[in-house]
Structure formats: structure tokens, C-alpha cells
Amino acid sequence: MTDVIQLLPDSIANQIAAGEVVQRPASVVKELMENALDANADEINVIIKEAGKALIQVTDNGMGMSETDARMSLERHATSKIKTAEDLFKIKTMGFRGEALASIAAVSQMEMRTRIGSRDIGSQLEVDSSEVKLQRPIACSTGTSVIVKNLFYNIPARRNFLKSNGVEMRHIVEEFQKVSLGRPDLNFSLFQNDLASYQLTKGKLTQRIVQLFGKNYQSQLAAVNESTPHLKINGFIGKPESAKKTRGEQFFYVNNRYIKSGYLNHAIISAYEGLIPKDQFPFYVLFIDIDPAHIDVNVHPTKTEIKFVDERTVYAIVRSAVKQALGAHNLSPSIDFELDVNFGKEQLHKFETFSEKDYGQFRTPQTKTSPEDIRSLENFYEKVLQNDPSRKIGNDELELTFQSAANAPEYGHIGFQEKQQEQTKVFTFQLHGKYILTQVKSGLMLVDINKAHERILFENYLNRLSTGKYASQQSLFPQTITFNPSDFALLEDIRDEIKKLGFDIEDFGKNSIIINGYPPDVGDQDEKQVFEGLIEQYKIFKSELTLPKEEHLARSLAHRSAIKPGKFIGGEEMNAIIDNLFACKTPNFSPDGQVTFFILDLNKIETLFN
């Protein structure tokens, strides 16, 4: 009989290994973000299209890679992080198995651009199912940018197995939260289908919590701080009354690495005993610092589970630290929740409404609106807003409604979210391709999508211009533009600002530029058109008004790239628009002073029927 055993080709071996490391788009996001952390980046930008099924881009300003390293990084078991077996016991980095990039490259079309600070030129690599298609020198900024396109396109069974965009996006957001919560000392951003979901600036842990979960968390936190010879623990826990019925806001980090540990979770929950009902989960973000020799990180391929050498001691310290924090906030855990009279019906009710839904970015529960609902709503609004003269709301009435809404503090930044939190059912609905309809506490809110988006973009752009922090999405097919000499001179004048907006441009011969990258939130428009539009609009605005050039630029780009009427947008996008609008400094007006939203008061609606 002939010999039958063969070594698997690398590409197949990598695909098999990928099964462990890359389960879904969120795994890619996690691995790439962790690589960026390991590269000592302090600015990490994530761009997602179609819940990561079409595109995932992670850009960092870290140490970058040399040409050879860039090529090597794609090999399986290629890592710069361990050299000897002993190193395994001193791991301080996120990754070390050297499998992530090889695995991702095996199941996608990947592009990498990277440059180390000491070199003038970087390198670009294009890989398709593990096969390197292109490697060449390229001008790019210091750091690394990895683009992963069409994940699992070469393994249809895996691709079909992916869940809906909503579900996959939630996983991505969770990974993003885990990483960014673990490093409040770094800047992060997450863009989803051209909309900024998060733009996090470095600061204290409390600030990061608020940036990620909303302002109402501010008053809900109790600090944990405990130092023993064995380990240090610090962070924040949620006060008992903020506990929720859904899990998902429990974060545990050991030596800055997010970990899952049923055992430690139990230690924390047990410290809340008697303070929260059995079926509720407290919020927590806790960091343990412990000598790496006392843990074994390598027990799980995706590295979220670890083993402590001395589990019981760790358990006891964690539990006592949490108890102490609860006690320090006068929340003595001596009452039995089930029996105590203080927790009467009202209190229970409060618990329920609080946890009924956790409102935050991406977390507005989407109740399905039936076609009947939609039709009756449509009829209703048509009547209210245009046709029926007897029911028509006069302009000044709307004005009044709006005025009161704008003045009421409850529609300020957090107020809106808090109000939402109390509701059980919130729908969003796009009306005539132009407006978002949604329920708010006092009635019904109508948001003008285009104007609201313009306001959001304007403030984002202004912010980028003033902080110098921006994200840039790589052009897949960099285009060149040739200007007339006077426009080119104008461009010279605003070149720095244009870069800060997120356009990565380079000179390309006389009066010409090439666009290598563009702001991730300019929408699915042609980059060249956006750029030309920006310059055109800038000239128009500049001739009309004298404002600082930053403001003109921010206004121009916002005006050109805001979502245009008639474009269908999904539920998540609508929620993102509402969230982002109310996070603006001036949510009520578009940059040119037009109203962005109206609130139709319940009382007013009532009168329409009487």
C-alpha cells in the first residue's frame, strides 16, 4: 500500500486555525484592536461597514512594522511577543500566539498599510485567502492600518452562518466596549456605516464609562479600591438600584486584559446579596493587578479565560473589596431583599422599569412595527401635518410646542436618554425618506434626518479640527483630482485643516492631488465628488460670511456629506442619529440655524381627536 499521509497546505491549515480565532466579525475587531494596543498606539480607530461583513478597518498610530515584519506577521506562529518558553510566564501583551493575522488573512481579503516611525516610507500588502497578491512601498502615516474585506467570502458555510447585521454589530460594539473600557488612557473611535458610534477621548475611567454608557451612570457608581500584598483591585461598581435584568455590563480585567470568569463574577454578585433581586445583574468594571506568574492565561484560544493559581484568595479579596465599596456608600447589605418592607411594591416596580430596557447606543430595543402600524401612522401624520384643515396645527402652535421642548431640560443631553429609559416600547420609523418618528416621554418626536445629521457632522468635524484627532478611511481606489491654479492655492491655504477632517491627501504632480483616505462619515458617496464638493461649498460659504476657516470647512463638509432626503436608513442608524443629535452641544438647530426636531405633545395630539 502506498503512503497516504500528507502535510496540509498552509492556506488550509490557516483556515482551520481560523476556526478557533475568527468566529465572527467581532473576533476580527478584537484581535486587530488588541494588536494596536500591543503596538503602543494611543489612538485607535475602527470603521465598520455592514456589521463587518463587508469591511472592518482598524487604524492605529502605534509602532508600525518594517517591510519584512509586515510580511512575516501573516505567517502562523509568527509573533514578536515571545521568544522563549519562559516568556510565556511574563506575558504583558494582549496577544502572543501569533495566529490572529494569519487566521484573518486566511478567511478574507486583507490589506495592510504600515510604517515605523523611523522610516520615511511604509509598506502595503494585499492578501487574498492567505495568498499575498501585492507588496509594495507606500507613503502612509506612522502606525498600522488593517482592512479586512468580505470576511468568510471563501468559506460560504461560515459566511451563511453569520447572524443578522444587528446581532453581529452588537457583538462588535461589545468587543469595542471591552477594549476601550480597559484603556481609558487612549483615544478610540468606532464608525458604523459612515456614522460615528463612539468618539472617545482619553481621560479618567469614570469619563470613559459615561462616554460609553451614558451620563446617568455618573451618579450610579461606587469606587472600589483595595490593595493587598497578593493583588490590587480597583474600578467601579454600580449601585444596587442600577442593576439590570439583562447581563452584559460586567467587565473584569486582569493585568489590563479583559477576562471572563464565572468564579469571580460569583464573588461580586455574592457581595450584593440582599441588595438586588436574584435575577438582576449589577454593573461593574474592575481591574485586578497581579503578578503574571500567579495566572495562566493560555488556557483558552481566544484568551478570555484565565486560571488563578490561588483562586480562593482572589475570590475572597474581590468579594470583600466590593462589599466594602457598597458599605462605603451606605448600602449596607444587611437587608434581605425578598422580605424587607423597604423594598415594597414601589421599589420593585422601580427595579423593573429601570431594567426593562437599557437604553444606550445600539441598545434601543426595536419592537417590530407591523405594516398596519406603519400605515395608520402614516395616515395620522399626513392628516396632522398637511391635509385636514380642521385638524391642522398652526405654525405658531408648532412653534410653541417646539419652544417648550427646546427649553425643557429634559431634552438636554442625558435627559432624553433617561426619559427613554423609562419607556417600555420605543419605535423608530422613517417617514417619507426624510424624517424619523419616535416616541418620547411627552409625546412624539419628529427629527429631520438631513438637518440633524448636518448638525452631528458639523460638531464632529469642528471637534476634529480643534483637537487634531481624526480618523481616515483608506480609499480602495485612490483617485486624483486636478485643480485650476486658484483653487489649488486655496487648497494650500486649508491643507492642514483638510487633513484634520480625515482626508489623507498627497501632491500628485502640478496642481493635482491624490486622495488616499477620507473621513469615514462622509457616506457612500464618491470620494472625489465629496472632495470637490467640499472645496466648492467652502468657496460659497466663504463668500457669504466671514467665519474662521475651521468653521467654514466643518460647515461645508457637513453640508455636503449629510444624509440626503430620500435615502432609506435602518433602525440602528436612526437610533444612532437620535443619540448623536442629543449628544450635540446645540441639538436644536442645524449649522445654518434650521430646526432639527419637533416634539408633538401628547396633549396636543389629544386635542386633535377632540
Q: Does 590 bind Mg ion (CB under 5 A)?
A: no
Q: Where are the alpha helices (DSSP H) in 189-230?
A: 205-213
- Greatest Cα-to-Cα distance within the chain, rounded to the nearest angstrom: 94
Nearer to ligand ADP, 126 or 551 (CB): 126
* Contacted entry of Mg ion, ligand ADP, none for residue 97, CB cut-off 5 to 8 Å set by kind: ligand ADP
Q: Does 159 bind ligand ADP (CB under 6 A)?
A: no
Per the listing, cell 473611535 goes with 189
Nearer to Mg ion, 206 or 304 (CB): 304
One of 15, 45, 79, 242 touching ligand ADP (CB under 6 A): 79
For the chain, the C-alpha Rg in angstroms (whole number) is 26
SS3 state at 351: helix
Nearer to Mg ion, 111 or 504 (CB): 111
Closest approach of ligand ADP to the CB of residue 478, in Å: 22
Q: Please return the burial class of 489, using the count of CB atoms within 10 Å of its CB with bins 0-12, 13-18 and 19+.
A: exposed
Closest approach of ligand ADP to the CB of residue 3, in Å: 33
Q: Does 122 bind ligand ADP (CB under 6 A)?
A: no
* Contacted entry of ligand ADP, Mg ion, none for residue 428, CB cut-off 5 to 8 Å set by kind: none
Name the residue with the smallest CB distance to ligand ADP: 95
287 backbone φψ class: left, alpha, beta (φ>0; ψ -120 to 50) = beta
Nearer to ligand ADP, 72 or 210 (CB): 72
Q: Does 123 bind ligand ADP (CB under 6 A)?
A: no
One of 51, 56, 65, 205 touching ligand ADP (CB under 6 A): 65
Nearer to Mg ion, 223 or 299 (CB): 299
Q: Does 173 bind ligand ADP (CB under 6 A)?
A: no
Give strand pairing partners of 59.
45, 145
User: Per the structure block, which three cell numbers stand in for 253?
Assistant: 480585567
Task: Please state, in angstroms and rounded to a whole number, the distance separating the CA atoms of residues 553 and 560.
Answer: 11
Q: Does 95 bind Mg ion (CB under 5 A)?
A: yes
Closest approach of ligand ADP to the CB of residue 76, in Å: 8
Per the listing, cell 460594539 goes with 173
Task: Please state, in angstroms and rounded to a whole number, the distance separating the CA atoms of residues 155 and 550.
Answer: 47
Task: Please state, in angstroms and rounded to a whole number, the distance separating the CA atoms of residues 184 and 287.
Answer: 12
One of 28, 29, 49, 60 touching ligand ADP (CB under 6 A): 60
Q: Does 100 bind Mg ion (CB under 5 A)?
A: yes
Binding mask 29-48 for ligand ADP (x = CB under 6 A): --x---xx-xx---------
* Contacted entry of ligand ADP, Mg ion, none for residue 73, CB cut-off 5 to 8 Å set by kind: ligand ADP
Which window, 60-68, 128-136, 270-278, 372-380, contacts ligand ADP (CB under 6 A)? 60-68
* Contacted entry of Mg ion, ligand ADP, none for residue 36, CB cut-off 5 to 8 Å set by kind: ligand ADP
Those residues with Cβ within 8 angstroms of residue 327's Cβ, 6 or more apart along the chain or in another chain = 333
Q: Does 319 bind ligand ADP (CB under 6 A)?
A: no
Residue 103's H or E segment, with its range, is: helix 100-106
Q: Count CB-CB contacts under 10 A for residue 332.
A: 11
37 in Cβ contact with 44 (< 8 Å): yes
CA-nearest of 581, 579, 535, 534 to 559 is 534
Q: Count CB-CB contacts under 10 A for residue 222.
A: 20
Task: Please state, in angstroms and rounded to a whole number, the distance separating the CA atoms of residues 289 and 285.
Answer: 13
Q: Does 35 bind Mg ion (CB under 5 A)?
A: yes
Q: Please return the burial class of 84, using the count of CB atoms within 10 Å of its CB with bins 0-12, 13-18 and 19+.
A: exposed
Binding mask 338-377 for ligand ADP (x = CB under 6 A): ----------------------------------------
Which window, 98-106, 176-184, 241-249, 559-567, contacts ligand ADP (CB under 6 A)? 98-106
User: Per the structure block, which three cell numbers stand in for 373?
Assistant: 402600524
CA-nearest of 280, 454, 443 to 350 is 280
Q: Does 113 bind ligand ADP (CB under 6 A)?
A: no
Q: Does 63 bind ligand ADP (CB under 6 A)?
A: yes
* Contacted entry of Mg ion, ligand ADP, none for residue 78, CB cut-off 5 to 8 Å set by kind: ligand ADP
369 in Cβ contact with 376 (< 8 Å): no
In degrees, rounded to 5, the angle at the alpha carbon of residue 114 between the alpha carbons of residues 111 and 119 is: 150
Compute CA distances 389 → 384, 398, 432, 544, 608, whole Å.
Answer: 9, 15, 21, 39, 11
Count of residues interacting with ligand ADP (CB under 6 A): 24
One of 73, 575, 580, 588 touching ligand ADP (CB under 6 A): 73
DSSP 387: S
Task: Please state, in angstroms and rounded to a whole number, the distance separating the CA atoms of residues 411 and 419.
Answer: 9
One of 10, 13, 20, 78 touching ligand ADP (CB under 6 A): 78
* Contacted entry of Mg ion, ligand ADP, none for residue 443, CB cut-off 5 to 8 Å set by kind: none
57 in Cβ contact with 113 (< 8 Å): no
Nearer to ligand ADP, 300 or 350 (CB): 300
162 in Cβ contact with 152 (< 8 Å): yes
Q: Does 81 bind ligand ADP (CB under 6 A)?
A: yes
Q: Does 97 bind ligand ADP (CB under 6 A)?
A: yes
Name the residue with the smallest CB distance to Mg ion: 95
Closest approach of ligand ADP to the CB of residue 28, in Å: 11
Closest approach of ligand ADP to the CB of residue 119, in Å: 13
Binding to ligand ADP (CB under 6 A) within 416-455 occurs at none
426 in Cβ contact with 367 (< 8 Å): yes
One of 18, 46, 48, 100 touching ligand ADP (CB under 6 A): 100
> Which residues in this chain contact ligand ADP in the complex, by CB under 6 A?
31, 35-36, 38-39, 60, 62-65, 73, 78-81, 95-102, 144
> Which residues in this chain contact Mg ion in the complex, by CB under 5 A?
35, 95, 100
